[in-house]
Amino acid sequence: MSVINDMTEKAKHWHEPPKITIYAEDHAEKLTCSKCGKRYISRGKWDPGICRECEIENNAHCIGGVYDGEPAHDN
């Protein structure tokens, strides 16, 4: 039991270390979005030529209801 009590005492003071975010901006090619003109970091060989915001906006679809499966944008 003393091992369990010892572990609970140690666990009380344990804190999760902060998350580390790594950005690969320095060596990556920077492109210009063909829709909004914003500069973004290239995603490599299969880059679609548009930034992530425009890609999400253009790929959004309605789910359920009368407009199920219809695009959620006015293009």
The pLDDT value given to residue 74: 63
Q: What is the pLDDT of residue 32?
A: 92
Using the predicted structure, report yes or no on whether residue 19 has a pLDDT greater than 80. yes
Residue 30 tokens read as: 């920077």
Residue 53 falls inside a structural domain? yes
33, with CB counted inside 10 A (0-12, 13-18, 19+), is middle
Reported pTM: 0.47
Q: Does residue 75 sit within a domain?
A: yes
Strands (E), the chain: 30-32, 39-41
Is 30 strand, coil or helix?
strand
Q: What is the pLDDT of residue 75?
A: 53
The model's pLDDT over 40-72, given as tens digits with 9 standing for 90+, comes to 888 888 888 888 888 877 776 677 778 777 776
**φ, ψ for residue 4, nearest 5 deg:** -65, -45
Average predicted confidence (pLDDT) for the chain: 79
User: Does residue 4 form part of some domain?
Assistant: no
Domains held by the chain: number: 1
In a domain, 20, yes or no: no
In a domain, 73, yes or no: yes
Q: Is residue 69 part of a domain?
A: yes
